[in-house]
Structure 1
Amino acid sequence: MDRRPGASVRLKLTLSYTGFLVLAGALTLVAGWLFLTRVQHVGLVFVPEYRLSVARDFVPVAAVTMVFLLVFGLGGGWFLAGRMLAPLHRITRAARMAANGSLSHRIRLPGRMDEFREFADAFDTMLARLEAHVAGQRRFAANASHELRTPLAISKALLDVARSDPRHGAGELVDRLHTVNTRAIDLTEALLLLSRADRRTFTRERTDLSLVAEEAAETLLFLAERHGVTLETSGDVAQAAGSPPLLLQLVTNLLQNAIVHNLPRRGTVWIHTGARPGTVMLTVENTGDLLTPQRVSTLTEPFQRGTERVHTDHAGVGLGLAIVDTITRAHDGTLTLTPRSAGGLRVTVELPAAAPRTGG
């Protein structure tokens, strides 16, 4: 924003201190003058000649005193204003560095807590979050580019083979191109869904997570049966405030992830919904391989996979839990991932409960 140049805050503070000091000195001198020349003291009688003498002696002293207060106020006010504004200069330098793209620096203002140090600590926290967010976005962009490049490279290789060898079976080539193209479309749609959820461009409605869980389980029942996985749904009504399509995508991703990352046969997935004061919960557990807490902590990062998929016909795009995490945060909720001691994963989503319906 373009602004006209003006006086600095330090100069304004200095003039304010000086003005206050001079005013206080002037009032003190006026009070002394009135006390000496107007108040009738016990045992003392002022004659006109004495009053005139007091005035002649008082005026020069008052003038010198006012000049001293003015100089002292200007010098002392300038010094004190500089000391008080020194933290603000450090914060300003840090803000300018951040505006130029440097997010690794921190203010770390020393001293006891006051308004400036509280602001500096908040600014440092903001810089840390921005740095982590930018680093995550860069990793995401790099991973997305790599993931998108893979199906395109495969498609090019298949087409090169078909062009160099016309005798190669067209049916097999079409099938493989269809599979690769489907994977690229799935990845693109997942990226678009991540962007939409992160922008929070959706309308919040009353949504029963128990019904959403039943719908997702019914949709994925065929996939579960094909992989020998049993789905068990239980729980109570859980009215959340959110977007029904996004919440359905959240539950679908969790169930699909639980089915894909499961035992080769006789696996189980448990879906449970419940309500607490002010919040509702959805829990999805599945059997599977043993996972370490360190490995689980990385699963919500884009393009991270917990274990090698047993079912190679459903490779996925590595964005399932990343989408779940983004949708959860967009709904002001919390996502908790915990490895099960017997193997597999427990995922808990806690969302704000919908406001109670008003009578009507």
Structure 2
Amino acid sequence: MDRAPGLSVRFKLTLSYAGFLVLAGASVLALWSVLLMLFPDSVMIRATRGGIGGAFAPGRSNTQQAFGEVAAAVLVFLLVFGLVGGWILAGRMLAPLTRITDATRLAADGSLSHRIRLPGRTDEFRELADAFDAMLARLEAHVEDQRRFAANASHELRTPLAVSKALLEVARSDPKRDTGELIDRLHAVNTRAIDLTEALLLVSRAEQRSFTRERVDLSLLAEEATETLLPLAEKHGVTIETSGDITPTTGSPALLLQLTTNLVHNAIVHNLPEKGTVRVSTAVRPKSVLLTVENTGEKLLPQMASTLTEPFRRGTARIHTDHAGVGLGLAIVKTIADAHDATLTLTPRPGGGLLVAVELPAPTQE
């Protein structure tokens, strides 16, 4: 925004300090002058006359003249003292604001790694600096996540496009090649590209929180997700167990169903080769509701579990299994959970597998 030039805050504070001192001094001197005129023969006035100067003590007019000269000198002194002292004090008081301004300019130029780290005890400036540092940290992490996400998404989208291009070039160079096999492979590649695009759109929609919140029962969503994925579980030899009472919360039914479906799908696909188990449960807590999806499987290190919600993150088992998805399953879960102000926790099970818990706020009482 273009603004007309004006006085600096430091100069305004300096004038304020000096003006206050001059006004206070003038008020005291004016009061004393009034007392001098109203009570010329009082003991304190006589003492003041003597204190001002013995040469002026005999006459009242001479005393008033001397008083006026002294008053003028005092006001000049207060003005100079107020300007110098106010300038120094204002500079010391506004020094933190200068550091905050410098950090803001660096952030505006794209440098998000700089922090103010204002020393000293808590006051208004330090609270502002700490809040600004926290904002920069979140913004830097968000920008880094977006860059990494964009790079990974570009890489993932480039793969099916490159495969499609190679298949078409092969078909063009060999017109007599069986088109049935080519069509099947192109269909599979195109389906993967569409799934990836839809997943990216879902992530974007959840991040923007562009959805209407409604009252939702998590237990019903868990039942719907397990029923939908039951054929896939039977194909993998996985048994699904569900439990839980009515679990009300508020949010987008479609997004929360997607969250539950992704968790159950992930638990089925990344399970034991045979006789695996998936347990889906819901519970009500005093101020929240809980959805847990637990599955058997290979042992996971805590470091590995903490990275599974990153976009396109795949472990070894994720690469060689079918229905592996597009690498956004748990990333979508995390995005939807964040959009609903929920807490997502991934905990490796001691015997192998993963326990995923999503804690959502309980609905407010109306």
TM-score by length of 1: 0.95
CA distance, structure 2, for counterparts of residue 158 and residue 72 of structure 1 = 86
TM-score by length of 2: 0.94
Secondary structure at the aligned position of 1:355 is classed as coil
Aligned to 2:19: 19
CA contact (8 A) 1:264 1:310 kept: no
Does residue 143 in structure 1 map to residue 152 in structure 2? yes
CA distance, structure 1, for counterparts of residue 104 and residue 150 of structure 2 = 26
Instruction: Render the CA deviation track for 1:239-294: whole Å, top value 9, x for unaligned.
Output: 01000000000000000000110011110000000111121110000000100000
Aligned to 1:104: 113
CA distance, structure 1, for counterparts of residue 208 and residue 219 of structure 2 = 26
CA distance, structure 1, for counterparts of residue 45 and residue 304 of structure 2 = 95
| Aligned pair partner of 1:207 in 187, 199, 216 | 216
The ranges of structure 1 where at least 4 consecutive aligned residues each deviate by more than 4 angstroms after the TM superposition are 42-46
CA distance, structure 1, for counterparts of residue 265 and residue 162 of structure 2 = 27
CA distance, structure 1, for counterparts of residue 88 and residue 208 of structure 2 = 48
Aligned to 1:324: 333
Does residue 191 in structure 1 map to residue 220 in structure 2? no
CA contact (8 A) 1:272 1:282 kept: yes
Aligned to 2:286: 277
CA contact (8 A) 2:251 2:340 kept: yes
Does residue 51 in structure 1 map to residue 67 in structure 2? no
CA distance, structure 1, for counterparts of residue 102 and residue 310 of structure 2 = 33
| Aligned pair partner of 2:176 in 122, 145, 167 | 167
What is the 5 A alignment of 1:13-92? Answer: 13-39=13-39, 41=42, 50-92=59-101
CA distance, structure 1, for counterparts of residue 96 and residue 364 of structure 2 = 45
Does residue 125 in structure 1 map to residue 126 in structure 2? no
Does residue 259 in structure 1 map to residue 268 in structure 2? yes
CA contact (8 A) 1:261 1:307 kept: no
Secondary structure at the aligned position of 1:271 is classed as strand
Amino acid in the other structure paired with 2:312: F
1:313 deviates by: 2.7
Aligned to 1:219: 228
CA distance, structure 2, for counterparts of residue 270 and residue 104 of structure 1 = 43
CA distance, structure 2, for counterparts of residue 61 and residue 304 of structure 1 = 82
1:170 deviates by: 1.0
Aligned to 1:5: 5
Amino acid in the other structure paired with 1:174: I
Return closer, same or farther for 1:243/1:251 CA change in 2, 3 Å cut-off.
same
Instruction: Render the CA deviation track for 1:214-247: whole Å, top value 9, x for unaligned.
Output: 0000000001001101110001111010000000
CA distance, structure 2, for counterparts of residue 251 and residue 131 of structure 1 = 30
- Structure 2: tracts of 5 or more residues without a match: 50-56
1:158 deviates by: 1.1
1:306 deviates by: 3.8
Amino acid in the other structure paired with 1:339: P
Q: Bigger CA drift: 259-268 or 159-168?
A: 159-168
CA contact (8 A) 2:36 2:45 kept: no
- Structure 1: tracts of 5 or more residues without a match: none
Instruction: Render the CA deviation track for 1:9-56: whole Å, top value 9, x for unaligned.
Output: 11111111011000111112123323444335359989x973322101
CA distance, structure 1, for counterparts of residue 44 and residue 101 of structure 2 = 64
Q: Bigger CA drift: 78-87 or 241-250?
A: 78-87
CA distance, structure 2, for counterparts of residue 165 and residue 333 of structure 1 = 54
CA distance, structure 2, for counterparts of residue 91 and residue 349 of structure 1 = 38
Aligned to 2:238: 229
CA distance, structure 1, for counterparts of residue 45 and residue 169 of structure 2 = 120
1:147 deviates by: 0.3
CA distance, structure 1, for counterparts of residue 322 and residue 120 of structure 2 = 61
CA distance, structure 2, for counterparts of residue 152 and residue 44 of structure 1 = 100
Secondary structure at the aligned position of 1:65 is classed as helix
Aligned to 1:116: 125
**Alignment identity in percent?**
71
CA contact (8 A) 1:296 1:306 kept: no
CA distance, structure 2, for counterparts of residue 165 and residue 313 of structure 1 = 30
Secondary structure at the aligned position of 2:333 is classed as helix
CA contact (8 A) 2:269 2:321 kept: no
| Aligned pair partner of 2:350 in 336, 341, 346 | 341
